[in-house]
A and B are shown apart, each in its own frame.
Chain A
Amino acid sequence: VTAVGAQETAARSLRLRARGGRVSTLAAGAIVGIVTLLILLWVLFLAPTTGKFATTFGSAVHDPKDFAITVLNGITAAGLYFVVASGFTLIFGLMRVVNMAHGAFFLLGGYIALRLQRHWVGQGGGFGLTSEQVNLRNWLLPLLIGTALVAASGLLMQQLFLRWNQGQDLRQALITIAISIILADQMLAHFGGVAEDISWPRTFGDKFTNVGSIPYAVPRLVILGIGVGIGLLLWLWLKRTRTGMVIRAGVDDRAMVAALGINIQLTFAIAFLIGAGLAGLGGVIGGSFASLAPGVDANWLLYSLVVVIIGGMGSLGGAAIGALLLGLTSNFSAAYLPSNYTYYSIIFTFVLVAVVLAVRPLGLFGRPA
């Protein structure tokens, strides 16, 4: 075979592969479409309230109010997923560092805020504090301090261990895993193994407000508000400020940015500070919304990974879409699976990841690095 002949063969096989790839993508797309349609039909019209496959609420037509609440629950949960995952994707997008300690940072932020709140307000009863006992200051201040301390820890980790391993992404991932092992074990030692939660302040903790005509818990709306606010701030920061421009340029071509004389190390440090801080902030909100316990860090690392795998790594818009899809999927699968089978809802998280990977391996908004 001549060199030209070999090249032609290779080119032909590439063309064939490309065509095959298109066909299989089309097939995958068709399957995804049909499955999505079936799920929509089930949720909207078919879900029964009696019999073997009885669901809690029945179909959306049967019970529009609980359907609306499930939608709201999904969107508000997405707010928190976004806060945590945006930090993860910021760090990854700029530095190619998979911060496996992100879940541990989440838990650390939550625990710091919890201890501060208990320190200022007192231990409360057997179930901890109630919202009535906590004023806004005793929630906001722990939130800010927890966020700041986790941001500082993230920066410390980056400066001590990651900075001089720039470019060796597997080694950096292993370093963050080591840090997460140590952090998780030390948190177990110092904060105990019992699930605890931070109390919302009485300003909005137990309150309900009407969304349309549906009474809805205010803390969940606050979470959504924080998520949207963080998203807007990050967007403004990345689009409108000089640091943001450097970060976006760095995501595209790190070497060129450094060659232009820009202090990329400073940019890295800032990005890591903010990325870790977002994990800490998420931890405080998550600890108020749900609870803090050993193992929660693994769940939140999972959520961050799922969001960025769906959305595309390093993309802020992708993180928002990914968070929304994850929030809706987890809430709808918990509410609309037949009551005898609700514990299978975790499967749907996997299906979501699987579907996105099958159709778009780099995520919905992902670009080749």
Chain B
Amino acid sequence: VTQVRGVTPDRVVGVGALVVAVLAPFLFSSYWIGSLLTQMLFLGIVAASLIFLSAYGGMVSLAQVAIYGIAGFVYGNLVTNGNTKGLNLGWSPWVGIMVGIAIAVAIAVLFGALANRSAGIYFLMITLTYSVIANLFFGQVTDLSGFGGISGIRAPSAIGSVEAHQNRLYYVALVTAVVIYALIRYVVRTPFGLTLQGVRDDPVRMSSLGYNVALHRTLAFAFAGFVAAVGGLLFVWWNGHIDPASIDLSATIDVLVIAVIGGLYRLEGAWLGAFVFVVINNYFQRIDFSWGSWISQERFHTLIGIVFLLIVLVSPSGLIGLWERAVSFLSGPRRGPHDRKPVEVQTAEPSV
């Protein structure tokens, strides 16, 4: 097969997906735009923050949804007015965006600083406690939320009413997703990003070379916190409401499922996984099929659990892994196996 330099199957598919995404409002129904694709974009952003940490830092974090929720709750408390619970400050949305991201990143720094001497599954366990505690915190603290949560959250007036202008929020989410994608791709190529990958592969050696392993992990976590916070703002604009159930264990695991279905070691997997997730979520509820009380329209999470289990058992590198295997199979042995190394799923010892 003759190939033009620089044209790889990955790039063809990537550019094709981007073109479809840009033209989507002309191709799909407004239901798809308003419900499915916008949701896919912001869920993909949160999953991308997780994949960034796991693929380049060796840290599988379950705190991303907590941080996304913190940004959403802060924004909701600052900009709304007239909720029974919450601060009801009624500030400008732009201030809400700034403060929401700032507080979310500050908390990410704290979280990261406390967990930075761990990696792998230790990190998973520690961040899971953050996630559950954040959920309980917003459930209990009625000054900020309480179980009912915060309603009537509006996007900045430039976006306007989300119901009336579905395409606007969609395009904002699309541009944000592309910018976040490019930003992460850039960050991992900077000296910081390269050092982070060194820390992922061999923390002891990096440490003896004089690099501050803990600091790099904390900074990576803070950056991922920023990405997750951006996703959280898009979520509250889209949903107009946030409550503790938006960040409960099930929501936390949903984002992990998205990342794993897509593939834990490639950024593109975030949006691929999110797409599969929202489509299954949406269409499964319409299928008129049941098998006793075990499988029916309402048992969406059973199905997601089974899909998740199959992916983990069959292809730990997710759908992207399947795609890569297919590409290298079709292009024959001349191209050789992909030199990209999957994220280490084996060792995760606590380090120095």
Contacts and interface: CB of A to CB of B under 8 A. Distances in A.
Specify the main secondary structure of chain B where it touches its partner.
helix
B345 A182 contact: no
Interface string B248-274: 111001001100100000000000000
B133 A189 contact: no
Interface string B299-319: 111101110110011001000
Contacts of A301: 128, 132, 249
Interface stretch (B29-37, B112-120, B218-226): B112-120
Contact of A177 (B132, B256, B298): B256
Contacts of A186: 294, 299, 302
Nearest to B120: A170
Interface stretch (A43-51, A161-169, A253-261): A161-169
A119 interface: no
Given A10-B210, A190-B293, A361 B137 contact: no
B208 A353 contact: no
B140 A346 contact: yes
A178 B309 contact: yes
Contact of B115 (A170, A299, A345, A357): A357
Contacts of B312: 171, 174-175, 178
A98 B125 contact: yes
Given A14-B208, A302-B129, A174 B260 contact: yes
Contacts of B250: 181, 184
A341 to B, nearest CB: 9
Identify whether the interface residues of A are mostly helix, strand, loop, or mixed.
Answer: helix
Interface residues of B, number: 54
Nearest to A362: B350
Contacts of A170: 60, 120-121, 124, 345-346, 348
Given A98-B124, A179-B305, A343 B141 contact: yes
A165 to B, nearest CB: 8
A72 to B, nearest CB: 24
A343 B298 CA distance: 33
B308 A10 contact: no
Given A186-B302, A298-B132, A302-B133, A169 B141 contact: no
Interface in A63-104: 96, 98, 100
Given A9-B210, A350-B133, A173 B350 contact: no
A181 B346 contact: no
A208 interface: no
Contact of B350 (A167, A177, A349, A361): A361
A185 interface: yes
B327 interface: no
Interface residues of A, number: 55
A354 interface: yes
B348 A181 contact: no
A316 interface: no
Contacts of A190: 293
Contacts of B126: 305, 309, 353, 357
B328 interface: no
Contacts of B117: 357, 361
Given A169-B346, A309-B129, A349-B133, A181 B301 contact: yes
Interface in A1-60: 9-10, 13-14, 17
A369 interface: yes
Contacts of A305: 125-126, 128-129
A175 B133 CA distance: 23
20 contacts: A13-B210, A96-B121, A170-B60, A170-B124, A170-B346, A171-B345, A174-B308, A175-B313, A177-B253, A180-B253, A181-B305, A182-B305, A185-B299, A185-B302, A189-B299, A308-B125, A344-B140, A353-B126, A358-B114, A369-B350
Given A169-B348, A174-B312, 11 more contacts: A13-B208, A161-B313, A171-B312, A175-B313, A177-B256, A179-B305, A186-B299, A189-B293, A295-B249, A298-B135, A353-B133
